[in-house]
Structure 1
């Protein structure tokens, strides 16, 4: 496998690991998918927003590296700590799963209201800037000239996930009604995040 493809595969894996954990944005996409309500618009808003944020992260860390190299080291150390902490939380969820209720009924909302809600859940979430811009950007920078391949892989991961979550929600509902499915998912996330955190830590010291 070439360096570019390896970086893209790493970006795909990390991008998926960061966005798969159910939060406000993913719960909203899942809910819209279950309700069959403006799914295409919601998936597009999430995927495009992620691509813009990933692009900003990949480009921004290169800019910082040229002017403030110590800042990159600090970001990598902080990112490693975040990833390892995230891995611990995912492992805890795997051991102590909690049900996620998604209302599939109720009054339908208009397209504009749905898109605005989706934008707010994406851009007003402070964690998205740490995860997508700083964290993904710092890991991408560690791939050197192949960092843009990493960014492409991460963006593809977002498209795959949001598309699968939005359009496959009805198929996933019986599966994720079982706590065991969430435990397996969170266990996998914990392993990937811990490995990425260790890799990022090694690149910073």
Structure 2
């Protein structure tokens, strides 16, 4: 009937892309802060696996190395740290978004500690491929699974308290519901 009368329907607003829909109801800057803190911790713990082994007694090759070789090794370790941090960040970000979306409705009063534990578990899960990548940068072939098991526990022990501190200071990455927000009432005054 509308077509006969020449009346057009109002255009529906375009739906946002899938990436933006994943962040609906969440605070992206805070999720990014949690992901940055977790990825830096994962990279800091994993980067030591990429370094050459320490000199053994009787091995005097390290004594004869030049300052340029030492500086090149330090630049390489900083580069490896940045690569590992970037990989950990891009693996950790979707896991934290998923955890925040799942916990937004279910966490209740324990939102901060529950999200801190979830962020620590996500960082420990991300540490598995990051440590394996770090071992790939190492000059000697070290066994992967013992290193992954040890470093994932270390990441869990480091990231849960850091995420809890961040959750206490900055809050959880989802918007507070209407009853959770503090109400601001104005008192009538002479003005």
TM-score, normalised to structure 1, is 0.31
- More helix as a share of residues: 1
Structure 2 length-normalised TM: 0.32
Structure whose alpha-carbon radius of gyration is higher: 2
